[in-house]
Amino acid sequence: MGAPSLWYDELLELDIAQGPFSAIGPQLPRHAAMPLDYYLMYGWVRMGRQDFWVRWPALFFGVLSIPLTYALARRLFNRRVGYIAALLMTVALFAVRYSQETRPYALLLCCTLIAFLGLWQVYRTHKMHYWLVVMVGLSGAALSHYFTLFLLVPMGLFVAGHQLFHLNQPRYWRHTAYFALALLVLALLFGLNGRILVLYRLSYRFSSVVIQPETLVLPAVEKPNGGSGPPMDSRFFVENVLTPLTATGSSSLLFYNALFMVGLLSLIYRGHHYHRAILFLCGWLLLPILLIYTFLLYRGTFFAVRYILYTLPAYLMIVAYGLDRLAGWLVKPVTSRSYRQIALVVGLVLLVVPALIAQFNDLQAYYAAESREDWRAVGQLLSNHAAPDDVVIAVKAEPAINWYYPPASAPFGTYGRTEPIRAAMAQHPRRWFVLSSYSFKRDEKLREWLAPQAVRIVIDRRTVVYLQHKGKSARDLLAEVKQFNLPQKSLTYAFLADQFKRAGDIETSRTFYHQAIALADSAGQKARYEALLAALPDLNDTIILE
């Protein structure tokens, strides 16, 4: 967990969590965040700042989701389905990924499982103390993310359906009253966090979609957030909904969804014992996804797959049930009871193994992939080579610098405008500019200004550091950078090799290309750098003008 650097969203949360406790709440509306995970991290980061340490809470909640999945699946179906569902949850890349990020999604997943486990137990046992479990789960989920509100729709339909068919039974009226109490508790929690009016306005406007569905296809400029929202095509649903819930390979996608359909087939058999359980899971799976998609389309906001993580257990439980049913159908011709048990075990193993292999392949690719952003390398570079009088201008990346290089701490958004950048440059002749994909639309002119007079140190495909010094040329600064303890990355050395070549220092360019080749992540990358190295002019044919 500590191998990849913390990425941008994690650093946004940690930047808030490492500040004063009283300052956490006022900053959250800007990030459209709820406070629970931030308050937990406030205490946690005071016991350690290592990357692996700050990811431990997410791992804890992710691991806790495994026995919760088993507990719910066992009560919905049987012990076998519980074991299969828990096993699928253990190796699911979707769950593993967000159980290693300092974000609230693993906590949201865990709390969602608690809430649905409690709700099922309420109507299974009719013991009122399970409503406390529901309220704890819903409260934790609501304090983790706004999209918890979409879970209230399938839960409300589940409660209403039972009430509708048991109008003359007092205990069902008590259940409905407790559900209303749970809604009141959530309203109080949102009210205490100052969000009730915002939610009311959003809910009121979003409800207009039902009356005026044409608002979903308005031009981007006419939508509240000025974007087009998620695409309206089948490819989007395959890549951003089905694939995260299953696996990336087309055969794996087909296999998982075939098992899912087998699970749903039980609905066509009248009087089937598990009708209610399957409908319960379908509501949990489908309605939040549909509501999230519609809401983001209405708002004109991008879709992130993490928003639907809390529906993963419902999908996997139906898949596990389908797998169990399929194995049962396959061994049905076996007449001997003892042989049937053996055949069932063999059938389950043969069906589970392809599902596990698909996930293991995805996990292997995930862990082998390059980190999306290496802010830790930025911090190490600055720690090694930035002087006390230097200024670090991190455009929209202040939280990353605040965490990895505290001497240059600045409030988020400090360098989002030209005036603060000019003021900082006026006071400090030696400047470090940290730019990234998160600032790309704002820093285009700044990059153009830096290009002829600064050294460009590429950290990864999203992040770059420029070193610029008033009164010094890029060639002068390259002589400094030549002595730096640089990040051991092929991109870093390759881009610097090109700058040394353009500055006329062919010998250093050749050395840096050799290092880039040695650090190359793939054969294709290695071949490209070898071609660039071979294209360098021979030193005997090069005239360097001083």
For the chain, 546 residues long, give each residue's pLDDT as a single digit of tens.
557 899 999 999 999 999 999 999 999 988 889 999 999 999 999 999 999 999 999 999 999 999 999 999 999 999 999 999 999 999 999 999 999 999 999 999 999 999 999 999 999 999 999 999 999 999 999 999 999 999 999 999 999 999 999 999 999 999 999 999 999 999 999 999 888 888 888 887 788 777 788 888 888 888 888 898 999 889 999 999 999 999 888 899 999 999 999 999 888 876 668 999 999 999 999 999 999 999 999 999 999 999 999 999 999 999 999 999 999 888 888 767 778 888 888 889 999 999 999 999 999 988 888 777 999 999 999 999 999 999 999 999 999 999 999 999 999 999 999 999 999 999 999 999 999 999 987 889 999 999 999 999 999 999 999 999 999 999 999 999 999 999 999 999 999 999 999 999 999 999 999 999 999 988 999 999 999 999 998 765 544 444
**What values do phi and psi take at 394, rounded to 5?**
-105, 105
Are the C-beta atoms of residues 430 and 392 closer than 8 Å to each other?
Answer: no
Comparing CA positions, the residue from 291, 341, 297 lying closest to residue 311 is: 291
pLDDT of residue 546: 42
Alpha carbons 29 and 35: distance in angstroms, whole number: 10
Element containing residue 435 per DSSP (H, E): strand 430-436
Contact 284, 151 (CB under 8 A): yes
Task: Please give the Cα distance from 30 to 155 (Å, whole number).
Answer: 29
How far apart CA 297 and CA 228 sit, in angstroms, is 7
Structure tokens belonging to residue 200? 């009311």
Residue 195: per-residue pLDDT: 86
Question: Distance between CA atoms of 428 and 415, rounded to whole angstroms?
Answer: 15
What are the residues whose beta carbons fall under 8 Å from the beta carbon of 216, sequence distance 6 or more? 209, 229, 294, 297, 298
Global pTM value = 0.92
Q: How far apart are CA 377 and CA 46, in angstroms?
A: 23
pLDDT of the residue at 95:
97
pLDDT of residue 544: 45
Q: Which amino acid is at 102?
A: T
- pLDDT recorded at residue 540: 56
Report, in angstroms and rounded to the nearest whole number, the Rg of the chain calculated over CA atoms: 28
Q: Retrieve residue 126's tokens.
A: 């009719």
Looking at residue 135, its pLDDT comes to 98
Distance CA 239, CA 483 (A): 45
The strand pairing partners of 433, in sequence order, are 393, 466
Integer Cα distance of 112 and 141 in angstroms: 6
Distance CA 530, CA 524 (A): 10
Give the angle subtended at the CA of 481 by the CAs of 480 and 486, to the nearest 5°: 145
CB atoms within 10 A of CB 210: 8
Q: Name the residue among 337, 333, 287, 344 with its Cα closest to residue 84.
A: 344
* Cα separation, 168 vs 83, whole angstroms: 38
Neighbours of 387 (CB within 10 A): 8
Longest dimension (CA), the chain: 99
Residues 6+ apart with CB under 8 A from 17: 24, 38, 41, 42, 44, 45
Backbone φ, ψ for residue 467 (5° rounding): -110, 125
Give the separation between CA 367 and CA 222, rounded to whole angstroms.
41
- Residues 367 and 160: their CA atoms lie apart, in Å, by 45
DSSP string spanning 224-289? TTSS--S--SHHHHIIIIIHHHS-SSHHHHHHHHHHHHHHHHGGGSTT-TTHHHHHHHHHHHHHHH
CA distance 298 to 220: 10
